[in-house]
């Protein structure tokens, strides 16, 4: 069902070919928005776009690696060229490497920080000019790992702690332009993250569309309000 306040607005979702990004794209399209999704693989983005909508005027598949600043500027340019505007950036792309610090490789550390933190910086920098024009919204997908540390997660914790701090700081920077900024911090979500294969036993977990609905709720709120940091977790601790 379309929402009149969101109809024809434009969202760019990084890492939109699967998981939270795909679920969010699905929800926003159902509300009447136009959506661009990116992936490091163009084939993956195109396949996801075909699954999301048969209307090519409302969906755009983009190849972009958020670690590459040039890719992200080109991606935003593609969004604006196709749709004429950009109203929402959902910075969702992320990776996770989990190992004790004595076993964590430099390459794993670098990929985690580059993707989960610097990648969001690149997406935001590429989007700011367009979002100033639309007085739009930036939503970053962090994690409860952005406030809760645990074993084998030094790289992931560092990236998500950093992302939460980065998001809250730019929220203060960008309010004067009418740009709203929020971070969503999910707990366990049923996705392919860290090589997990979603299955029936995941029914107790947050589903990707649940995060999409939370994104939509933020966008539909009265423009004078700004929930800038949202923690969300499963209502139960297991499938029992």
| Residues catalogued as catalytic | 156
Q: If we measure between CA atoms, which residue out of 82, 95, 81 comes closest to residue 145?
A: 95
The answer to whether residues 124 and 170 touch, using CB atoms and an 8 Å cutoff, is yes
Pairing of strands 137-141, 180-186: parallel
Taking the CB of residue 32, how many other CB atoms lie within 10 A of it?
16
The C-alpha atoms of residue 211 and residue 199 are separated, in whole angstroms, by 18
H or E element: which one contains 61? strand 59-63
The C-alpha atoms of residue 91 and residue 170 are separated, in whole angstroms, by 13
């Amino acid at each position: 069902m379309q929402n009149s306040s969101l109809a024809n607005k434009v969202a760019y979702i990084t890492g939109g070919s699967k998981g939270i990004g795909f679920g969010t794209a699905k929800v926003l399209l159902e509300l009447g928005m136009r959506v661009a999704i990116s992936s490091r693989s163009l084939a993956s983005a195109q396949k996801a776009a075909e699954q999301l909508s048969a209307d090519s005027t409302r969906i755009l598949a983009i190849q972009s690696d958020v670690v590459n600043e040039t890719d992200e500027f080109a991606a935003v340019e593609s969004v604006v060229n196709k749709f004429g505007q950009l109203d929402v950036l959902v910075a969702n792309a992320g990776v996770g490497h989990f190992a004790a610090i004595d076993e964590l490789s430099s390459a794993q550390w670098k990929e985690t920080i580059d993707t989960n933190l610097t990648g969001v910086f690149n997406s935001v920098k590429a989007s700011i000019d367009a979002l100033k024009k639309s007085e739009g919204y930036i939503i970053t997908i962090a994690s409860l790992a952005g406030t809760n540390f645990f074993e084998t997660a030094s790289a992931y914790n560092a990236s998500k702690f950093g992302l939460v701090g980065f998001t809250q700081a730019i929220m203060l920077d960008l309010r004067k332009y009418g740009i709203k900024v929020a971070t969503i911090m999910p707990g366990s979500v049923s996705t392919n993250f860290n090589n997990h294969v979603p299955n029936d036993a995941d029914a107790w977990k947050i589903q990707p569309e649940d995060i999409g609905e939370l994104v939509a709720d933020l966008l539909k709120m009265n423009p004078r309000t700004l929930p800038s940091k949202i923690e969300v977790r499963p209502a139960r601790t297991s499938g029992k």
